[in-house]
Amino acid sequence: MRRTVDGLVRYAISRLFRTPAARRIQDGGPGQIGEPAIHDMRKPQSQANGVADAAERGEDLVEQVRRIWEEVLGISPIDTDDDLFDLGGHSLTITQIIARMRKRLGVEVPLDVFFDEPTIAGVVDAVRNG
C-alpha cells in the first residue's frame, strides 16, 4: 500500500509541477525529498541579484515597479508617492504585485512592507535596503 501512495505522489508531482525542482524532489526515493531539492530550499533568493539584472537592462527599478503596479491596479499613471490603498489596492492586489516582482525582478518583498510603506517609493526603498 505504501508503495502505491509513493508512486501516486511522484506521478502527481511530475504531472502538476513540471519544474526542475519538482523533478529533483522525485530523486529522493520513496517518501523522501532528494538531496538537491533540500539544498535548493535552503538557498535564500538574492534580492540584490534581481536589482542588478534590472540595472543591466538599463531600466530603473522605480519604473519597473511602477509598471507592475499599473498592470495590477489597471491605473496609469501612478506617482511614486501615491498610496496603494487610496488607489484601490488590497491584500490580494499586493500578493499579485509581490508575485510579479518575484518573477520579473527576482526580489522577494514581504507583505508587511506594503502595509508599512504603501507607495512605490517605499517599496523600492525596502528592496534596495534589503
Measure the CA–CA gap between 50 and 97, rounded to whole angstroms.
15
DSSP summary character for residue 110? -
Residue pLDDT, tens place only, 14-24: 666 555 544 44
pTM of the model: 0.57
Q: Quote the pLDDT of residue 17.
A: 55
Q: Lowest mean pLDDT: which of 4-13, 51-60, 85-94?
A: 51-60
Measure the CA–CA gap between 95 and 110, rounded to whole angstroms.
10
Provide mean pLDDT across the span 55-79.
Answer: 86
Q: Quote the pLDDT of residue 58.
A: 43
Provide mean pLDDT across the span 46-52.
Answer: 51
Q: Cβ distance 105 to 50 under 8 Å?
A: yes
Domains present along the chain, CATH in parentheses: 2-42 (no CATH), 47-129 (1.10.1200.10)
